[in-house]
Structure 1
Amino acid sequence: MDVTDLKSLFDESRKRMGGVLDHLKREMAGVRTGRASTALLDNVHVEAYGSSMPLNQVAQLSVPESTLIVAQPFDPQLMGAIEKAIRSANLGLNPANDGKVVRIPLPALTEERRKELTKVIHKLAEEARNGVRQVRRDANDRLKKLLKDHDISEDDERRGLDEVQKLTDQHVGLIDDFQKKKDQELLTV
């Protein structure tokens, strides 16, 4: 075992931890903060043409003002399906169509709803932290196995464990930052 094998272990761990962060960003983008964003509708799927399709593939989404999202279907026959999909997505949104576009007004967030959403944010962040810790556990197990198989020295294992812990601390710090930023967006709207 040489340094390049350890480097590949660190690179793989870094990549997997980065994947956890990317997933967290996508999940948090779907949590409504009171400002209109097309990312709120990223997880909405519309029944169209015999299959379930993401909303952004059947309609042009735009934000003409801070409390309104507009979906302009590529096929006007999908108006009803788009409205139904948005209503059934449990986002607390009530879309309406005027025959040409679907207007999705964002109601003001109540204090109670803000607190519920804060809990959702904390849950998502904790799941992400657990994901990063799982990557750390996998990397540490691989390092211990390499030591046991006499592929690396005890010093290399110790340095490897330290490097993996640094990666973990760095990614957990980023998760904490995302959580704080999203909490601020929720509570200062």
Structure 2
Amino acid sequence: MAIDFNQTKEKMQKAQDALQRELAEIRTGRANPRILDRVQVEYYGAMVPLNQVASISVPEARMLLLTPFDKNALDAIVQAINMSDLGLNPASDGNIVRLAIPQMTEERRKELAKDVKAEAEKSKVAIRNVRRDAMDTIKKDKDLTEDEARDHEDKIQKLTDENIKSIDEIAAQKEADLMKI
């Protein structure tokens, strides 16, 4: 019942990856197509991700351009964006949809920074849970001597500390992006 350090490391890395995915969807002052990842469009009776019914491009720093693959989906795209909680107003000219990303207020920036911290804390909890599981496995392993168990625990703790530090760095970078004007 030996501890698998690679599996533990992989689980901790997945927590970091999940954080990066979540933070990519929090919008900063710049246009980022990832903010539309959760938008679902009703297309011929089925809910479909927006990126499957339209191409998304960034022609300017504060503008997203959506070009539907099927012109009949244009109204559904506009409706889906209006129904989302993104706070964006789509402008359609009959062929494409333009999304202007408004300048964020200081209050909104601080609110989003709190969201970043909350997401980072969730990732830290996930990493600590992985550590706890690994420590439990070490304690249950009767074949390990006390020194080996202590060495394994130290290794797990170092791995945890490294991952927590990475989470903090990722969150700090996103907060810095949010606070830029």
Aligned equivalent of 1:143 = 138
Aligned equivalent of 1:47 = 42
Aligned equivalent of 1:172 = 164
Deviation string 1:125-178 (CA, Å, 9 cap, x unpaired) is 1111111111111111111111xxx22221121111111111111111111001
Aligned equivalent of 2:103 = 108
CA distance in 2, matches of 1:154, 1:11: 22
Offset, 1:51: 2.0
Query: Following superposition of structure 1 onto structure 2, how do residues 18-29 of structure 1 map, counting pairs within 5 Å?
Result: 18-29=13-24
What one-letter code is carried by the residue in structure 1 that aligns with 2:63?
L
2:29 aligns to what SS in structure 1?
A: coil
- 1:15 maps onto 2:10 in alignment: yes
Aligned equivalent of 1:118 = 113
CA distance in 2, matches of 1:80, 1:119: 34
2:48 aligns to what SS in structure 1?
A: strand
Structure 1 alignment gaps of length 5 or more: none
Offset, 1:49: 2.8
1:103 aligns to what SS in structure 2?
A: strand
1:108 aligns to what SS in structure 2?
A: coil
Aligned equivalent of 1:70 = 65
What one-letter code is carried by the residue in structure 1 that aligns with 2:146?
E
Offset, 1:79: 1.0
CA distance in 1, matches of 2:52, 2:171: 29
Query: What TM-score, normalized to structure 1?
Result: 0.92
CA distance in 2, matches of 1:56, 1:162: 45
CA distance in 2, matches of 1:153, 1:50: 62
1:33 aligns to what SS in structure 2?
A: coil
Aligned equivalent of 2:145 = 153
What one-letter code is carried by the residue in structure 1 that aligns with 2:87?
G
CA distance in 1, matches of 2:143, 2:76: 59
CA distance in 1, matches of 2:45, 2:140: 50
Offset, 1:83: 1.3
1:36 aligns to what SS in structure 2?
A: coil
CA distance in 1, matches of 2:152, 2:52: 45
2:16 aligns to what SS in structure 1?
A: helix
What one-letter code is carried by the residue in structure 2 that aligns with 1:43?
R
Query: What TM-score, normalized to structure 2?
Result: 0.96
What one-letter code is carried by the residue in structure 1 that aligns with 2:44?
Y
CA distance in 1, matches of 2:144, 2:46: 52
Deviation string 1:46-102 (CA, Å, 9 cap, x unpaired) is 121322211111110000000100111111111111112222221111111111111
Aligned equivalent of 1:30 = 25
Deviation string 1:97-116 (CA, Å, 9 cap, x unpaired) is 11111111101101111111
State how many pairs are aligned: 181
CA distance in 1, matches of 2:134, 2:45: 44
